[in-house]
């Protein structure tokens, strides 16, 4: 009985990793769509998001089924409840990747952002992808030494997000209004992505140590 249960818990963990990998792929493709104005790549991200939503639903149903049949307690119970929470964060990260792809599609063949912000956005995507890589490592290995680096990367994203808002406040900002709107929203999507990433990383860290890391 315990062996079946441990196998079921492991499967939940494997499915979380599978969802995180799909989100990473979505964000990587959203980056190409967004920074290289690739319409077909954007379409792919948008249509594939339904698969992430479906996997999240399946994972949730499986977790509730395990709760009902196995009545876990202590750390096993916390692992399952955390899985429900983490799947919600990952699903939301998939939505944010889709929003970025939708921005790219709406402005195609124009770029969403002005050329002067291209380097900043390339760095923001890179940081969010690195955060997702760290989250996947933590989900797979339960090695909490990744947490600190993820928190640093998240702090960098927040600082860059503030920097972009500041740039729009300066007198030399001469982009058209629709670009100001697009930059405001897309920079926020990238910042929210890092928020959800650190939230997942904190939960893994809590499951391993029994202590909440300070909020990043």
Please tell me the distance from the alpha carbon of residue 191 to that of residue 13, in angstroms, as a whole number. Answer: 26
> Measured from the CB of residue 52, what is the shortest distance to a second copy in angstroms?
15
Indicate the burial class of 74 (C-beta count within 10 angstroms; 0-12, 13-18, 19 or more). Answer: exposed
Place of tokens 């990383």: 201
Assess contact for 101 and 34: CB atoms under 8 A.
yes
Stretch that binds a second copy, among 72-80, 114-122, 134-142, 145-153 (CB under 8 A): 72-80
Of 86, 195, 204, which is closest to residue 146 (Cα–Cα)? Answer: 204
Q: Is the previous residue joined to 24 through a cis bond, with omega within 30 degrees of 0?
A: no
Based on CB atoms, which residue is closest to a second copy, 165 or 208? 165
- CA-based nearest residue to 128, from 158, 101, 107: 158
Is 84 a binding residue for a second copy by CB under 8 A? The answer is: yes
Site residue total, a second copy (CB under 8 A): 23
> Is the alpha carbon torsion for 134, 126, 172, 184 positive or negative?
negative
State yes or no: residue 73 binds a second copy (CB under 8 A). yes
Least distance to a second copy, CB of residue 61, Å: 11
- Return the residues of window 133-172 that contact a second copy according to CB under 8 A: 165, 168-169
Closer to a second copy by CB, 146 or 189: give it: 189
Q: Pick from 144, 185, 208, 213 the residue near a second copy by CB under 8 A.
A: 185
If one asks whether residue 178 binds a second copy (CB under 8 A), the answer comes out as yes
Least separation in angstroms between residue 97's CB and a second copy is 17
């Amino acid at each position: 009985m315990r062996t079946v249960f441990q196998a079921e818990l492991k499967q939940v963990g494997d499915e979380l990793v599978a969802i995180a990998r799909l989100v990473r792929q979505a964000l990587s493709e959203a980056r190409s769509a967004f920074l290289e104005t690739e319409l077909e790549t954007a379409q792919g991200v948008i249509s594939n998001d339904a698969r992430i939503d479906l996997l999240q639903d399946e994972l949730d149903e499986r977790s509730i089924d395990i709760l009902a049949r196995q009545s876990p307690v202590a750390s096993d119970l916390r692992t399952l409840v955390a899985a429900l929470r983490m799947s919600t964060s990952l699903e939301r990260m998939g939505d944010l990747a889709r929003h970025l792809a939708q921005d790219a599609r709406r402005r195609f063949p124009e770029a969403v952002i002005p050329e002067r912000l291209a380097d900043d956005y390339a760095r923001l995507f890179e940081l969010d992808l690195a955060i997702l890589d760290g989250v996947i490592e933590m989900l797979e290995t339960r090695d909490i030494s990744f947490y600190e680096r993820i928190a640093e990367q998240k702090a960098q994203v927040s600082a860059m997000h503030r920097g972009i808002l500041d740039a729009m406040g300066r007198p030399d900002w001469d982009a058209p209004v629709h670009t100001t709107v697009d930059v405001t929203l897309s920079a926020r999507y990238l910042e929210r992505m890092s928020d959800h990433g650190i939230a997942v990383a904190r939960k893994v860290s809590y499951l391993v140590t029994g202590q909440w890391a300070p909020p990043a």
